[in-house]
Homo-oligomer: A and B are copies of this chain.
Amino acid sequence: MLSEFDLIKQYFKRSGPNQARPARAALGIGDDCALLAPSPGMQMAISSDMLVEDRHFFAGADARMLGHKCLAVNLSDLAAMGARPVAFTLALALPAANPAWLGEFAAGLFALADLHGCELIGGDTTKGPLNICITIFGELAPGHALRRDAAIAGDDLWISGTLGDARLALAGYRKEYALDDAAQLMAGTRMHMPAPRVALGLALAGARLAHAAIDISDGLVGDLRHILAASNLGASLNVDALPAGPVLAAQPQALRRQFCAAGGDDYELCFTAAPEQREAILAAAIASGTAVTRVGTIVAAPGLRLVDAHGCALDLQLDGFDHFASA
């Protein structure tokens, strides 16, 4: 059986040519603390996400995809703030130290970390029910953060990428909805391997193109309500303008509406911006390789109004995911 210290050394401590970029930390894994010096004048953006077996992923989930996903959800929080990824810590509770699982998990984790130049600088390992907690650090210039409370009445409402395929995959796994194998595989990849919109977030914040932003983890409607509450504003959302994922796009309208508006696990950005920025936002989207779609308007009157393609009110029973509401 691997010891705790061997485990860290073997799977999570990297040095020399294996490292994709020069180390950002003044001191990394192996002491009581890591030491990190942000670039002069920059703020640190910090976020923590905890993923639990049977809650955020299935028992027996593919370890490589899990390594990707647990970092992706944290990178997505940096993207939603417009921060550049710098480093992260990993705390891991494992039922046992399984070398094959650890090798795959680390491979998935570091592949995504290297893609974003984000360095593992410390953490903790312990025995316990499988639980993965990553705290991520980014940096951004003061005043550039895409805050939830920064929407302005009259702003356009935008969505990156596509929505709903992750929720569709879940419905398929749960046998709530029948999908053929190819569709299940394609939608499942979207659920297991989300692509955090880091480049788009950086472009929106760096050039101050957007006002407010949030990443869509619990479902668009629920997450959008956080922006509206923080900004003390309302919105009109055209549900039929929401960009469905390629698998969901081939399903019936009622399912499309439901899973686009409140699917969850999308890790797309929902952001608001002044109408004068439309051209610049489309250019930023092309430059960052991320599609964006205009799906509504921020208004002064509180509340979220869902409308169809004709502007008629829709009475959908939608809500975001709440970890304790279903308890």
Give the B-binding residues of A (Cβ under 8 A). Answer: 1-5, 7, 26-27, 30-38, 40, 42-56, 77-78, 80-81, 83, 89-93, 96-97, 121-129, 131, 133, 135, 137-138, 140, 142, 145, 147-149, 213-215, 230, 322-325, 327
Instruction: Say how far A301's CB is from chain B's closest CB, in angstroms.
Output: 22
Number of copies: 2
A147-B27 in contact (CB<8A): yes
User: Which of B89, B97, B131, B137 sits near A129, CB closer than 8 Å?
Assistant: B131
**Across the two chains, which residue of chain B brings its CB closest to A89?**
B48
A27-B145 in contact (CB<8A): yes
Instruction: Say how far A160's CB is from chain B's closest CB, in angstroms.
Output: 14
CB-CB under 8 A from A129, the residues of chain B are 52, 128-129, 131
CB-CB under 8 A from A52, the residues of chain B are 93, 126-129, 131
Q: Which of A27, A92, A323 has the most CB of B within 10 A?
A: A323
Q: Which of A92, A124, A140, A147 has the most CB of B within 10 A?
A: A124
User: Which of B40, B122, B324 sits near A48, CB closer than 8 Å?
Assistant: B122
A97-B47 in contact (CB<8A): no
B2-A126 in contact (CB<8A): no
A89-B46 in contact (CB<8A): yes
**Across the two chains, which residue of chain B brings its CB closest to A138?**
B33
A2-B147 in contact (CB<8A): no
Complex-state Cα separation, A138 to B27, whole angstroms? 14
